């Protein structure tokens, strides 16, 4: 199963790479995605802020490098290429909508709940302080929703706001992930689930690291 999935991802990556190089006008795509770049001879270096790190994408080689030499996963590479290929330059609407309110996404609500929200509820449903602290450690912007909330920029044009309502004796805990409606102008629909799942994973990992550092 894992091998089949890896093969599928490689096919998706190759398609995204071919699309980026075939369509041309890389500087325009970079501009619409809100990214910075420089040109060195025949190469273009694109600086991609991805959560709290910066990934360097070199074109036309389509080579990825992390700031600290960390491995850039295949899923992350696909997300970045899809971001460049999809970026429309649409400005933020300034609203926040739930995943299920994004056109064509409502039928995938249960999948989103299972992959993104339930792990956060299990970890932080009765501990809003650890949730908020994880956001701070990731450089998130604090918000005023629910009992605790913050916004992470997965990519320059893709903010994701996480909201937690802490559970008590009367009500179970709840969580939501909110997006600016412009997100569909920057990522394919299926990638919205993936980017939110990656964000949730980073929140959990950050909280776990802090817990072990204090232990």
- Beta-carbon contacts of 182 under 8 Å, excluding residues fewer than 6 positions away, are 90, 91, 92, 93, 157
In a domain, 170, yes or no: yes
Structural domain includes residue 92? no
d(CA 34, CA 47): 10
Check whether residue 70 and residue 110 sit in a common domain. Answer: no
pLDDT at position 49 is 96
Please tell me whether residues 140 and 162 are part of one structural domain.
yes
Q: Which domain-ending residue is among 34, 53, 86?
A: 86
pLDDT in the model for residue 215: 56
Per-residue pLDDT band for 107 (boundaries 50, 70, 90) equals confident
Backbone angles phi, psi at 39, to 5 degrees: -115, 130
Indicate whether 116 and 46 sit together in one domain. no
- What residues make up the domain containing 103? 97-214
Split at pLDDT 50, 70, 90, the class of 103 is confident
What is the pLDDT at residue 210?
67
The pLDDT of residue 145: 96
pLDDT at residue 4 greater than cutoff 70: no
Residue that terminates a domain, selected from 22, 51, 86: 86
Q: What is the pLDDT of residues 134-192, one digit of tens each?
A: 999 999 999 999 999 999 999 999 999 999 999 988 899 999 999 999 999 999 998 99
Q: State the DSSP H helix or E strand holding residue 206, giving kind and residue range, or none if neither.
A: helix 189-214
Q: How confident is the model at residue 40, as a pLDDT?
A: 84
What percent of the chain clears pLDDT 70, i.e. is strictly above it?
A: 95
pLDDT score at 117: 96
Instruction: Give pLDDT, residue 68.
Output: 76
- Residues 36 and 126 occupy one common structural domain: no
pLDDT in the model for residue 211 = 66
Is the per-residue pLDDT at 5 higher than 90?
A: no
Cis peptide leading into 60, omega within 30 of 0?
yes
- Which pLDDT score, from 0 to 100, does residue 134 have? 96
User: Are residues 79 and 102 both part of a single domain?
Assistant: no
Rounded distance between C-alpha atoms, residue 181 and residue 158, angstroms: 10
pLDDT number for residue 2: 60
Domain end (from 55, 86, 117): 86
pLDDT tens figures, 6-24: 778 899 999 999 999 997 7
- Do 31 and 59 belong to one domain? yes
More confident residue, 57 or 214: 57
Distance CA 158, CA 160 (A): 6
Assess if residue 91 is contained within a domain: no
Residue 200 shares a structural domain with residue 176: yes
Contacts of 66 (CB under 8 A, 6+ apart): 53, 55, 56, 72
C-alpha radius of gyration, the chain, whole number: 18
Q: How many domains does the chain have?
A: 2
């Amino acid at each position: 199963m894992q091998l089949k999935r890896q093969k599928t991802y490689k096919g998706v990556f190759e398609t995204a790479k071919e699309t980026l190089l075939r369509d041309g006008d890389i500087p325009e795509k970079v501009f619409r995605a809100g990214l910075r770049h420089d040109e060195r001879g025949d190469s273009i270096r694109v600086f991609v802020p991805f959560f709290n790190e910066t990934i360097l994408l070199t074109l036309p080689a389509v080579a990825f490098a992390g700031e600290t030499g960390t491995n850039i996963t295949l899923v992350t590479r696909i997300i970045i290429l899809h971001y460049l290929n999809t970026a429309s330059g649409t400005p933020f609407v300034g609203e926040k909508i739930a995943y299920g309110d994004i056109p064509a996404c409502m039928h995938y609500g249960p999948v989103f709940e299972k992959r993104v929200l339930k792990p956060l509820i299990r970890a932080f449903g009765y501990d809003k302080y650890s949730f908020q602290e994880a956001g701070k450690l990731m450089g998130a912007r604090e918000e005023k929703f629910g009992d605790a909330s913050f916004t992470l920029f997965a990519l320059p044009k893709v903010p994701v706001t996480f909201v937690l309502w802490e559970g008590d004796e009367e009500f179970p805990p709840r969580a939501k992930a909110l997006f600016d409606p412009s997100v569909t102008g920057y990522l394919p629909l299926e990638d919205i689930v993936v980017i939110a799942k990656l964000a949730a994973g980073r929140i959990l990992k950050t909280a776990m690291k802090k817990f072990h550092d204090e232990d």
